[in-house]
Structure 1
Amino acid sequence: MNMKLTATVSALVLALTAGAGLAQTTLTGVRDLNDQLDDQERDINKDIARANDSYRFGNPSFRDGLSGSASLGYSGKTGNNESQELNAGVRLRYASGPLVQTLGAAINYADTAGVNTKEDVFAVYDANYYFNDKVYGFVLGRVSTDGLATTAADNAIDGFLGFGPGYRLINTEKTTWRIQAGLGVSYLEDGTGASDTEMGYIASSRLFYAFNENVFATMDTDILKTDSALRINNDLGVNMKMTDAFSTRVSYLTEYNDSRAIRSDNKLGVSLVYGF
Structure 2
Amino acid sequence: MKKIVMMAATCGALMAAVPVGTMKQSAELGYIGSTGNSESQSLNAAYKNDYQYDEKTDMHLKADILYGEKSGVTSDERYRLFFNVNHYYSGDLFTYGEASALRNTFEGYNQQYNLGAGLGYNIFKDEKQFLKGKAGLQYRRSNYTSQPHDNFYYLKGGLDYLYNFSKTNKFTATWDLLDNLKRIKDYETVINLGLTMLIVDQLSFKMGFEIKYDNVPPAGKKKTDTTTTAGIVYSF
Q: In structure 2, how many angstroms separate the alpha carbons of the residues matched to 1:212 and 1:105?
A: 27
The answer on 1:236 being equivalent to 2:196 is no
Kindly state the Cα deviation for residue 177 of structure 1 after the two structures are TM-superposed. Answer: 0.9
Q: In structure 1, how many angstroms separate the alpha carbons of the residues matched to 2:146 and 2:223?
A: 25
- Fraction of identical pairs, as percent: 16
Kindly state the Cα deviation for residue 170 of structure 1 after the two structures are TM-superposed. Answer: 1.3
Q: In structure 2, how many angstroms separate the alpha carbons of the residues matched to 1:213 and 1:206?
A: 19
Q: 1:140 aligns with which of 98, 121, 127?
A: 98
Specify the alignment match of 1:267 in structure 2: 227
Q: Deviations over 1:207-252 (max 9, x none)?
A: 0112334432111222222236322221112223377699533322
Q: 1:160 aligns with which of 111, 114, 120?
A: 114
Task: For residue 259 of structure 1, give the secondary structure of its aligned residue in structure 2.
Answer: coil
Q: In structure 1, how many angstroms separate the alpha carbons of the residues matched to 2:192 and 2:103?
A: 25
**CA 1:242–1:160: 2 relative to 1, 3 Å:** closer
Q: Deviations over 1:107-152 (max 9, x none)?
A: xxxxxxxxxxxxx996655232211351110111224469xx8xxx
Specify the alignment match of 1:209 in structure 2: 163
Q: Deviations over 1:167-191 (max 9, x none)?
A: 1111111111111110122222335
Task: For residue 228 of structure 2, give the secondary structure of its aligned residue in structure 1.
Answer: strand
Q: How many equivalent pairs are there?
A: 177
**CA 1:209–1:123: 2 relative to 1, 3 Å:** closer
Amino acid at match of 1:249: K
Specify the alignment match of 1:248 in structure 2: 205
Any gaps of 5 or more consecutive residues in structure 2?
12-19, 24-46, 65-77
Specify the alignment match of 1:78 in structure 2: none
Q: For the pair shown, which has the larger CA radius of gyration, 1 or 2?
A: 1
Q: 2:133 aligns with which of 179, 182, 185?
A: 179
Task: For residue 204 of structure 1, give the secondary structure of its aligned residue in structure 2.
Answer: strand
Q: Deviations over 1:41-85 (max 9, x none)?
A: xx9xxxxxxxxxxxxxxxxxx949xx9xxxxxxxxxxxxxxxxxx
Specify the alignment match of 1:131 in structure 2: 89
Any gaps of 5 or more consecutive residues in structure 1?
1-31, 44-61, 68-88, 107-119
The answer on 1:170 being equivalent to 2:124 is yes
Amino acid at match of 1:137: T
The CA RMSD over aligned residues, in Å, is 4.6
Question: Scaled by the length of structure 1, what TM-score is found?
Answer: 0.49
Q: What aligned pairs does 1:42-53 form with structure 2 within 5 A after superposition?
A: none
Q: In structure 1, how many angstroms separate the alpha carbons of the residues matched to 2:207 and 2:63?
A: 29
Q: Between Structure 1 and Structure 2, which shows a larger proportion of strand residues?
A: 2
